[in-house]
Every structure is written in structure tokens, then in C-alpha cells.
Structure 1
Amino acid sequence: MDALSISSLPISYDFRKETWRHTLLLSFQSLGVIYGRLSTAPLYVLESIDPEDIRSPNEIHELFSFVFWTLTIIPLLKYACIVLRADDDGEGGPFSLYSLLCRHARVGLLPSNRGSDKILHHEKDSPSKGKLENKARRAIEKHKSCHYLLLFLALLGACMILSDAILTPAISVLSATSGLGRSLATISVKFFSSEKTKDHVANGLKKYVPTPAACAVLVCLFTLQHHGTKRIGFIFAPIVIIWLFFISGFGLYNIIHCDPQILRAVSPVYLLRFMKKINLRHWKLLSSVVLCIAGSEAMFADLGHFSKKSIKITFICFIYPVLLLTYAGQAAFMSKYFSAADAFHLSESIPNKNLQHVFAVLSLFASAVGSQATITAGFSIINQCQALDCFPRVKVVHTSEQILGQVYVPDVNWLFMTLSLAITIGLHDVSQLAKATGLAVTSAMLVTTCLMSLVIALYWEKSWFASVCFLLFFGSIEAIYLSTSLVSFFRGAWCLIILFLLFMTTMGAWHYGTLKKYEFDVENKVSVEWLTDYSPGLGVSRVPGIGFVYSDVDTGIPAFFSHFITNLPAFHQVLIFVSFKSSPVPYIPENRRYLIGRVGPKEYKIYRCIVRYGYCDNVRDTDDFEDQIISLIGEFITREEYDCEALSSPEGKMIILGSPMEDGNALVTVAETSSSTCTPTIRESESQRHLLDIPSDSANPPITRKRVRFTLPPKSPQMRASVREELLEIIEARESGTAYFLGQSHLLARKGSNFFKKFLIMAYVFLDKNSREPPVALNIPNAALLEVGTLYTL
């Protein structure tokens, strides 16, 4: 899917106007995306328990009681009823909660949050003015350690979700292929007469079939991701529905025929009975029980792909009762045959042996579907992290024109597949993978609980008593499950630490490098007067054309451009400084996205454009981005004198703009009929060669670029002479050609820096060299692009 032009960018779907028909449609799709993980958890929740740790059927009843109350408290009460209400304009996940806190407590450490220009802040959602809340906010804003702690929590939650996106496909598919291996072993032994041969073949199939089969399924699963959430939802949803009816039907059968008394275990008395005799053996059993809620975090993290109403209705009316029926039936079967071999496998609870083969095939498809929730959540988290400068540049493909939250990240998809295959081959054991998955699940949930407690107090403006109660109630339950996973650290949970260090190093190094670069640029920028007043004394000349200067600073002249002027004293007759500023919000309305202003006096024809975007916006990957800016500058010129909404900035007046005016008083664009492969115009090439001192015989490779011309509007004779003259000069400069200036940074640690700082800088340099090019450079002709190298000594 190619980048969309600004005029055709998908708009955020307004779920408040959602019809029941659309809700049911989204509910159907969510079954194949969000709830596949919860639906396939019965494959490995009780299977990951060591049979030697179960001493009596009563313990199975007590474990089912834990499953029942855990499913009721965490996904139903916490997520469906409370956390889903804390969406950030339809977006979920730890970074959405962090963005709410950044806006309402001003704890952001991102470059855009550290600027002094107040006009960059979003206009709505201003903090509360309550006396108690103001004291709390001031206390949090005052202590810098609180800022770093909240950012660490957001990154920790993101790392756990990304790790879960790798572990879940491995454990889901491996547990399903284990059943396939047993099914093949059952069939194959019929062809041999010798008991020794039967045992040898059966053991070989059980041992060697699951891992290769799991790898093949994983490759197919990740290959399907480019189809997008909508198509995958339609493909996978029927599989989940058939799977749930299949296992819940046999669950009901086992309750009736094996142990109807299992239904009494919903009483909390069974919980207390289990806790009274708690020991290390029982603690290890709980580390498997926590997997029954694996996938609950996806209900919130995947919120951008669906609506709150569809997610809530699907879980309460279908997923929750069906899962309880399934676990109750499996526990009833285990309580009757707990001493039998393989009794803890879900496939053994199928009474008909022929249907067990059907179960093996169906579970294989269902396990692939079950991985979709965490993979999709991983894409959403990567999109948010990248927009907030916490992840290296990767390509993000928006797979829906109506719902911007539905994204696909190709580079990360193949990274997930590689790591998932490595873990599957390396561990090839469901029990060990279960310990690592349980630790990832509980860690992510605990992070959400901590951030959510602050959102309750600072965003919902509830009392701190309510916030503390939420933290203690849900946090204590999740902390208990977290400790049970840590007990099994050396039995598989250690691999999560490796994934955590990988992602945290990547995010931390990129954030550190980006932040230090921004601080260096701010400290070394030069004043506007240097360019407008003192540059003539340096012999600087103006050449025909428009120059776009891209930088991170929103005031002054970036250091790399002053370095360029000092060595090559010339710049274009129209100069436009462009900077991108991320805001801790999902979307910036298109009509409030651009801030246009002047740099210096009018006669210098120097302008500044600040582009604001949210962490789900897609602004940079556009073909006509510069043409849009030129149109908006023309609108700024016509509205400059009388605009009442103009904002003040350190450099003067700035106007918030979006789409060009409908009355046609600004520049009018005319697309040329020839938009096929072409080369730069003669005047454009000559002006650039004159500016950059390039030999005239240098060859320009053909490029594909749509050419747009600008003309004055029909009402131009009614304009003021100064406005008309300035617009004509911009048109003339556009016809003369366009050049683009980018800063190319080279980071270097100071002598005597500690090892940790050197390591972060080395990691950032490595990531910067191997990540995607800056989005603004993707569609710029090579002949018109100039990168100015700057050495950053940190």
C-alpha cells in the first residue's frame, strides 16, 4: 500500500456515531483479532501444569475456582468495565495512558514536550483546576524522577506487549502441533504389529513433529499479516467461532458426564481453602493459572482497531461464558482421570477418538488465530512509539481508509517472525514458554494498573482514595501472579528478560539519542537576526527558487543551515523552515495541523511551518507535502493582516491552518497533465547547480514525481498590491525550482564518558544507520536534496 496524499488521508472513524449494524460487524471481526488469544488459552493453561504437582481432585476444583475469579476480575471487571473507558480518542495501550498523563500532568520527556513554545500544546483537554488535583500535579511535575518513572513504565509496558507478540505465536502453535503429533502417533501405530516398533514410532512423532510443524505454521501466519486487520478479521473470525462452539460443547458434555460438582467451585471458599495450605508447590500451580487471562491486555491495546462497544459486547455476551464452560469441562475431566497419562491435555477430554483428529486440525488453525491479538497489538505499540520518538524509523502501512488505528508494520512483522521461530526452536517446550508468557502478561497488566490509577486521579478527576483502591485491589492480584511467574524464572521465564533487554535497549537508545540531538540543536541554533541582518555582511546572495529546510527546532536557525551558509554563502529567494512536532494525542485535526509564520521582515521572504501530528497520524509519507505547504503559505499571506486567531510566538505572528480556503483568495493549484516519469526542469537544475556548485554535465537520473503549478486566484486584481506581489514572487520561485536541506547527524561520545553513555550512543548510531530514511526524504529527487553533515559531541 503506497503512501496516501494529504488530500486522501484516511480520517479517524467517529465511533460515537456507530450504528448497531457496524457494531455487530466490528464484533465479528474482533473475534478473529482480539479474542483469538483468550479463546486458545485452554490449549496450554492446564496443560502447562506438571501432573506430579497435583495430589487430589480437590486441588483441580480449587484451581478452577482461581480460573473463574481471575477471568471475572481481570478481563471482565478491570478491562471491559473500567480500563476501556480510559481510551485516548479511540486508542489504547500503555502509551495512550502515558499520553493522557503527559497532557494532564505535564510529565512528558519527549522533545516536543520540552519546548518552551506554548502554541505547540494541544488546545483541548486542559488540566483541571481543582485544588487537590493541582497540588498532586505540582508534586508530580516538580520531581523529575516521577517523569522518568512514568516514561519507564510506558516503555516497560510496551516492551512486555512486544515480547508477548513473539511468545504467544510460539506457545499457541507449539501446543496445537503437540496435539497434532499425538494424533499422528495414534494413527500410525495401527500399521505396525510389534509393540516395540509402535512405541518407537509414537514417541518419535510426539517428539519430532511439533517443532517443524509449528515453524511452518508460524511462517504462514506472519506472511498473512500484510492483508490488514479487516481482512484477517473476516478470515479468522469463523475459525474462532467454530473453535469456541467445539470446545465449549465438549466442555458441557464433560461437566454432565464426568463431574457436575465442578460448578460448586465458583464459590470463593475454594480460593480460601487453597490459600490456607499455600506452599511452593501451590505457588507454581498459580503460574499456569495466570495464562487463562493471557490476551486480556489486547482488549485495550487493540482498541484503535475496533470500538469500545464492539469489544465489550463480544466479551461479555460470548467470550466470557464460553470460556468458563470450557475450563469447567476440562477441569471436570481432569478431576475424574487426573491420574491417567496425558489427562491434562485438552485433546484427551474429547470423548470420541475420531473427533480428536478433527480437534487436532481445528486447534492448529485456532492457535494461528490466537496469535493475531498480540501481533496486532505489537503493530499498534510500534506505531505509537515511533511517532513519539521512542522507536527507530520503520514503515507503517495504514490498512484501512476509515480507521487509522489499523496498521501493519512490515519490518517489525519479519522481526517478530524471526524471534518467534528462534524461541520455538530453542525452547520447543510448552511448559517453559508458558512461564515466560505468564511473566510478560502479568508485567504488562501491572504497568496498565499503575498508569490507570494516575489517570483516575488526574484525568477523570476522581478522589485519590478511588485511585489508591484501584491500584491496591487489581495491583495486589497481579503482583501475586507476577511473583508466581518469577518463582519459575529458570524454567523458561529467563527468555523474556532477553527480549525485554533487546526492546528496552532499542527504545532507550533511540529516545536518548533523539533527545540529546534535539537538546544539541536547541543549544547551537543561531538567532534569526544572524540570517537577516548579518548575512549580507558575509557576502550571502539570494538565488532563484524555493528552499525547504527541515529541522527539529521550532525557533531560530538550525545549526546545520548556518554551517552551510558560512561555507556556501547563498540561499534561495524564498526560504521555508519546516519542523515536525509530535503531540501526546492520537490525532491532530487536519484543520489545526499546520502553524505558519514569518521569520524576519517581509522583504526577506522567509517563512516557518510547524507541522503537528499525533502518534496515530500519517503526515510525513506524502507525495505533495511541499505543495501543500506552499498553498498554506499563500493563505497565510492573504490572512496575515486581519486574522483574529493568530497566535504569538517568539518570532512573531503564527496562524493555525489546515486545508486551503474555499473562497479561492490564496494560491490556486493546477496539476499538469504530464505526471509520468520526468527529470527536473532546466531552470530548476541550473539554479541548484549554481547554488551547490555542481558541474553542468552531471547527469540527473529520471524520477517519478507529480508536477503542480501555482497561479493567482480569479479575484487577484482585488488584492492589495503588497499581497499580490508577494504571491507572484512565490509563484516565480516555485517555477525556478525547489531544493531541500536536511541535517545529517553524526553522534560521538565525549572523551571520558562512562560506558553506559558510550553504549547508548553506539546503539543509537547503529539503529540510525540501519533504520528507514527520514520520511521527508523519501519522495525528494536526489538532484534537489542536500544533506549537511553535523558532528554532535555528547
Structure 2
Amino acid sequence: MSDAATITGAVPESTSVEQHGHGHDGFLKLAIGAVGIVFGDIGTSPIYAFRETFAGHHPLTPDRFHIFGVLSLVFWSMMLMVTLKYVAVIMRADNKGEGGSLALLALINRSTPGKRWSTSIVLLGVFATALFYGDSMITPAMSVLSAVEGLTVVEARFEPLVVPLAVGILVFLFFIQSRGTAAVGRLFGPVMLVYFTVIAALGLSHIIRDPSVLFALNPWHAIHFFVSDHVRAFLALGSVVLAVTGAEALYADMGHFGRKPIGGSWLVFVLPALMLNYLGQGAMVLALPPGEALRTIENPFFLLAPEALRLPLVILATFATIIASQAVISGAFSVTQQAIQLGFIPRLRITHTSASTAGQIYIPVINWALMTMVILLVLFFRSSSNLAAAYGIAVTGAMAIDSCLIAVVLFTLWKWNKVAAGALLAIFFTVDFAYLASNLTKVPQGGWFPLLIGLIAFTLLTTWDKGRRLMIERLREAAMPVSIFIESAATSATRVPGTAVFMTSTPDGVPHALLHNLKHNKVLHERVILLTVKIADVPYVEQQTRCLLEPLGHGFHRLVIKYGFMQEPDVPAALKQVTGCGEEFKMMDTSFFLARQTLLASARPGMAIWREKLFAWMLRNAESAMEFFKLPTNRVVELGSQVEI
């Protein structure tokens, strides 16, 4: 395709267009679906969070003082970070119904154009996205490995099988992605309902034996823990945060289920089930002699169940972790699609795995890259306890960035009272940065991994964005005004029957493909369409407002087609809806002209040479514009040009 549209497939634009509404399914159906998809990650945290706090890299003595302090920290972390921050506040900051860091970033950019701090906000949003990729690698490895390790509770001799079984399950999980998850997805809700019910019942059975553990919900125990043993309490935060990993999924998946069904599921079902299980683990350990408590704390989740039920619990937990991993993988596909549409990632091949659900997509490059990294993580760390050191930094970093973004929303978009907003943000930032600081102590033990992945992803995303913008500038410099071209070319060139569609990144200037075609072939079609595809800062653009046509005279027309960042461009389908420029578009009478740029790295101001070479490599490996825009393969003509940036 021509100009910058070749680079990104489309041009992000700031505009306000009405949302393509979600279907109004029943509240209960949506709430159950949310339990299956949204809460998989946070729902499997009891398998390892409580254990890691006491038996991890900074072990605590499993006595009443520490158990009450940790349980209090877990409960109030859930109340402050999940219930207050995400459910009550951040989920109200939706972008036409959609959530997630990129959706929030697009909302802020659309609502506050030209602000002096906008570049910093964009970089924060992009870094949150980069950290998500690190999290999406660690979550499947950590979750599946921790569940399979339950086999050693059933029979210690199973220990050599843990890593091979975990790798086998993960390989199977990634291999079925291309087939789609529609059928499996229907099972997610019921399986997770059973899982949450079982873990709640197991916890309740131990709470009944020692109801005094309920006093751990008093925030004084968390405060007393910090006052009496502030160093150990601070280090414990690095493991306690494992109890709230997955909280950001509530916001990211809001577009699929809606704010109220997700919030309702959390408050009525998921939060009580999780706390019953955590309190049950605490009650069980408190009831044991010191020596036995130390052995039990090595795997308290599975030991909650009677011996006869431990193997079924391992199987159920494994299914739950597969579901949690599936949700994270699907989330990586969705975030990648948004990033492509918003111009942060090159075009990649995207396959829809469901004819009825637009959100179910499969991106082969992302799938195999994730699988490779997840398998390497399992083989390198070999146990969930070792992986726990790497888990948490990406999550706490993304949560801290979400607090920065919501601060902009509170003050600039919603214009809250400054005292009230400041007090609320003080709570968010205190909690977020305390957890982030505690997790940074785990960098030498494995925390370096998500930071490394985040840094690599951030470099790739920002290099592509910067390079794309530089290329657009260089192409604009050489562009000829359309009016001058039409006046000179319309009378001098031979006109031939049919329609020619020239793709261009900007609604001004003559596309390079048009200039090259006239220079070499010396003909113009009877109808010439200068087509620009723009991506709006909203998730969906309605069909009736998608196309904007402007006659330019002498058979030339300027056409702008708009899509939301959650939609996939389909140029032939959009052309069928266009009227007012002659006959209906017929693909067999239409030729699509694309310009493919070859990048030449140069010493011109803009980017470092190594970043220019990286951008050139990304440009060469981008998905074909023909496939990205669904152009008919036998109607496309590509013309090459060279560009220096």
C-alpha cells in the first residue's frame, strides 16, 4: 500500500464516533461468563499465594501473629486494589464500553488533544502494554506448574513427572489456539463455578473448626504486622501481591461482559470464595503443631482437602489453571490487535476463529512466540516457587501505570474535586508503589525476566511508532498537491475503462503509487479513488458513518474509511456500501494500487541508526497490505519506492 498506510495498514486518528453496541445478554449469563473468563488468573492465586508468603524466598514463621497479618494484608489488598480501584473507579473510565491500558490511552488522547504531557502519557500506556507481554508469558507457566505440583501432595514419587506434564499441557494449550476456543469457552463458566464453589467449601470446612481466624479481616492485624516487623512485612508484600494478580483483567475484559456483570460476580461470588479459601488455609495451619505446620505450609491449598479428594482437586485445579492461561493468551491476541490498529505494532496475520464472535481471534506469530517463552520459563525455573520470584513485577508495574492514567481521567476528564481525587489517588499510589517496591527486591531471583521482556517490547513498540511517523513525514515532503496533479494529468493522460483505487495514508497529496503508475504506464482509469483508511480512538465505528466521500473532479474522488481500534479493516466490504461516485464497485472491474516502500537507513535526524535498521526489519516482516485489508489477490498491483528516514 502507499505511503504510511503501507507501514501500519491504517492511520490512527483522534475522533469521536458512536460505539457499535454490545449485545444485551442477560445479566446472569454475562456474570457467569465473567467468572469463567475474567477471574481465572486471580481465582487460581490461592494455589500458590498463601504458600509463597510463608515458604517462598522470604519465609515467615507460620504462627498466629504472621498468619493473621498476612490474611489481613490479602483481604485489604483485594478490597483496595480490586474492589475500590478497579471495580469502583477505573472500570467507570471506559472507552465506548471497552477497557484496558490502550483503550484508556486512546480515550485520554481523544479527550485531551495537544496537552503538553500527552507524550509522557502515551509512553506510560505503551510501557503498560509491554509489561503485559511479560505477564502473559509468566502466568501460564506459573499457573499450570503450580497445579501439576499438587500431584506431589497425592504421591511424592510423581515429582519427576511435574515438569514434563506441565510442558505437555502447555504445548497442547497453544496448539489448539488456531482451532478457536468457542466450544471450550462454553465450558469455562461452569468449570470455574465448580472450582470456586469447591475451594470455598474446603476453606469453610476449616474455618468452622476455628472461627477465630475471621478476626484476621480486621485491618489492625496488617498494621500491627508492619509496626512490629516492618522489614519482613515489606518483603511479604512481594508474595501477598500474588493474591491480586489478574485484577487488571477485570478492566481489560470489560468490553466482553460489561462493568456491572463483572463487578457483581466479583462482589457476590468470587471475592467471598477466595477469602473463604485463604482463611481456611490459615485456620488449617493454625490448628497444627509447629513442626507439622512447617510441613503443611509447603502446599496448604491441596492439603485442605481430605486425602481421598486430593487427586480430584489437583485435576480440577489443573483445568482452572488452563482456563486462566487461555484467558491470558486470548488477552495477548486482543492487546496485539489493538496495538496494530493504533499504530504501535506492524501488521500481523490475524485469523478469526469464530464466525459469530468478533473478539475471538488468533495471531500465529504471537501464539508461537508466547509458547516458546512459556516452555523456556518452565524448563529454566522448574518450580512454581522459583517462578514466583519473576511473577508480580509486571503486574504491579502495570497497576501503578493504571493509577497514573486514572489520575489524568479524574482531574482532566471527570474534573473531580481536587481534595477528594487527591485523597483517593494517595491511597492508590501508596498501595501500588509499596507492592512494586517490594517486588523489585525479587529482581536478582527472577524478577529481571518480565522487566527484560517489557524493555524489549517497549523498544519494539516505540521504534515502530516513531519510524512510522518519520516515514509519513518524508512521504509528505515529496507529495504533490492533488488539485495541481488532477488539472495537469486529467487532460494529458489516456483514460482507460474501470476503477483504480490508490491507497494513501493522508487525505492530502498525491499517492506515490499513482505517480509511479502514470509515469510508467501513462494511463489513468475512468474512475480514480484516493483511499485512506483511518483508525479512530474509539472501539467501534457504526456502518452508516464509516465512509466519507469527496468528489475532486475529472473522475477523481477522495474516500476516507474509518474503523474503530477493535474492528478489522475490510476494504472491499466497505466499498460495496459507497454510493455517489458513479456505478457500484465491482471487484472484477477494480484495480488496487499499493506502494511498497524500501527503507534506507540514513544519518538524517530522527532515530539512531540501530533503531532505523530495527524499523526496516519490522517493515520487511509486516503482513502484506493486500491480506490485511482483504483485497482480492488477483486485483492488486504493487509499485516499489525507496525512502530515507
CA deviations over 1:28-54 (Å, ceiling 9, x no partner)? 222221111111100110222353721
Pair 1:251–1:150, CA change in 2 (3 A): same
Q: Distance in 2 between matches of 1:377 and 1:619?
A: 20
Instruction: Report Cα offsets for 1:254-281 as digits up to 9, x if no partner.
Output: 2223x43211111111111111134443
Distance 1:45 1:376 in 2: 24
| 1:258-269 equivalent positions in 2, closer than 5 A | 259-269=210-220
Query: 2:547: which partner in 1?
Result: 594
Deviations 1:45-86 (CA, angstroms, capped at 9, x unpaired): 022235372133311110010001011111111111221111
For residues 648-659 of structure 1, the aligned pairs below 5 Å read none
- What is the DSSP-based 3-state SS (H/G/I as helix, E as strand, rest coil) of the residue aligned with 1:576? strand
CA distance in 1, matches of 2:536, 2:557: 22
Q: Which letter maps to 1:45?
A: A
Letter in 2 for 1:211: V
The match for 1:677 is: none
Counterparts of 1:220 and 1:513, CA distance in 2: 37
CA 1:228–1:86 in 2, change beyond 3 Å: closer, same or farther? farther
For structure 1, which runs of at least 5 residues remain unmatched after alignment?
Answer: 1-10, 108-140, 186-201, 635-666, 670-707, 709-733
Q: Encode CA deviations 1:163-193: one digit per residue, 9 max, x unaligned.
A: 22211111000101111234232xxxxxxxx
Deviations 1:730-769 (A, max 9, x none): xxxx88x332211111112213769x62222222222222
Aligned to 1:544: 497
Q: In structure 2, what is the equivalent of residue 318 of structure 1?
A: 269
Alpha-carbon shift at residue 585 of structure 1 (Å): 0.9
Task: Kindly provide the CA deviation profile for residues 207-242 of structure 1, in whole angstroms up to 9, marking residues without a partner as x.
Answer: x22211111111222334446565433212222122
Question: For structure 1, which segment, 483-492 or 563-572, has the greater mean C-alpha deviation from structure 2 after superposition?
Answer: 563-572
1:151 and 2:154 equivalent?
no
Contact 1:100 1:459 in 2 (8 A): no
Which residue of structure 2 lines up, in the alignment, with residue 36 of structure 1? 40
Task: Please state how far the C-alpha of 1:779 moved relative to its aligned partner.
Answer: 4.6
Aligned to 2:347: 393
Distance in 2 between the 1:222 and 1:770 partners?
23
**Range 235-244 or range 565-574, more displaced:** 565-574
Change (3 A) 1:486 1:739: same
CA contact (8 A) 2:561 2:574 kept: no
Mapping 1:508-519, distance limit 5 Å:
508-519=462-473
Give the match for residue 329 of structure 1. Answer: 280
Residue pair 1:347, 1:356 contacting (<8 A) in 2 also = no
Distance, in Å, in 1 between the alignment partners of 2:100 and 2:546 is: 24
Equivalent runs, 1:298-697 vs 2, <5 Å: 298-337=249-288, 339=291, 340-398=294-352, 404-535=358-489, 540-599=493-552, 602=553, 604-620=554-570, 623-629=572-578, 631=579, 633-634=581-582, 667=583
Indicate the residue corresponding to 1:198 in structure 2.
none
Q: Secondary structure at the match of 1:747?
A: strand
Counterpart of 1:551 in structure 2: which amino acid? T
**Equivalent-residue separation in structure 2 for 1:747 and 1:37 (angstroms):** 42
| Greater RCO structure (CA 8 Å; 6+ sep) | 2
Contact 1:37 1:371 in 2 (8 A): yes
Residue matched to 2:65: 58
Q: Which residue in the other structure is 2:597 paired with? A: 745
> Structure 2 vs 1, CA of residues 41 and 399 (structure 1 numbering), >3 Å: closer, same or farther?
same
CA gap 1:294/1:214 in 2 versus in 1, 3 angstroms: same
The 5 A counterparts of 1:11-160 are 14-15=21-22, 18=24, 22-51=26-55, 53-55=59-61, 56-107=63-114, 141=115, 143=116, 146-160=117-131
Partner residue in 2 for 1:181: 152
Structure 1 residue 592, shift from structure 2 partner: 0.9
The letter for the 2-side match of 1:453 is A
Q: Any stretches of 5+ residues in structure 2 without a counterpart? A: 1-17
Deviations 1:616-656 (A, max 9, x none): 12233x65444444x4534xxxxxxxxxxxxxxxxxxxxxx
CA 502–590 in structure 1, closer or farther in 2 if over 3 Å, else same: same
CA distance in 2, matches of 1:32, 1:549: 46
One-letter amino acid matched to 1:616: M
Cα distance 1:429–1:769, how it changes in 2: closer, same or farther (>3 A)?
same
Is the CA contact (8 Å cut-off) linking 1:181 and 1:209 kept in structure 2? no
- Aligned pairs, number: 622
Counterpart contact for 1:550–1:579, Cα < 8 Å: yes
8 Å Cα contact 1:749/1:793 also seen in 2 = yes
CA RMSD between the two structures = 2.5
Distance 1:72 1:242 in 2: 24
Flag the 1:775–1:287 CA change in 2: closer, same or farther, 3 A.
farther
Please tell me whether the aligned partners of residues 521 and 552 of structure 1 are also in contact (alpha carbons under 8 angstroms). no
Give the Cα–Cα distance (whole angstroms) in 2 for the partners of residues 57 and 292 of structure 1: 20
CA distance in 2, matches of 1:411, 1:48: 34
1:236 matches 2:188: yes
Identity over aligned residues, as a percent? Answer: 27
Contact conserved, 2:533 with 2:561, CA < 8 A, in 1? yes
Inter-CA distance 582–12: structure 2 relative to 1 (3 Å threshold): closer
C-alpha separation in 1, matches of 2:195 and 2:233: 31
Question: Partners of 1:535 and 1:438 in 2: how far apart?
Answer: 62
What does residue 164 of structure 2 align with?
212
Q: Equivalents in 2 of 1:12, 1:103: separation in Å?
A: 14
Counterpart for residue 700 of structure 1: none
Quick one: which amino acid aligns to residue 253 of structure 1?
S
Q: CA shift at 1:312, angstroms?
A: 1.3
Please tell me the residue identity of whatever aligns with 1:319: V
Q: Which has the larger radius of gyration?
A: 1
What does residue 762 of structure 1 align with?
613
State the SS of the aligned residue for 2:371: helix
Q: Give the TM-score, by structure 1 length.
A: 0.74
Secondary structure at 2:594's aligned position in 1?
strand
Looking at structure 1, the residues matched to 307 and 152 of structure 2 have their Cα atoms a distance apart, in angstroms, of 14
Q: 1:443 to 1:777 in 2, by over 3 A?
A: closer
The amino acid of 1:409's aligned partner reads: I
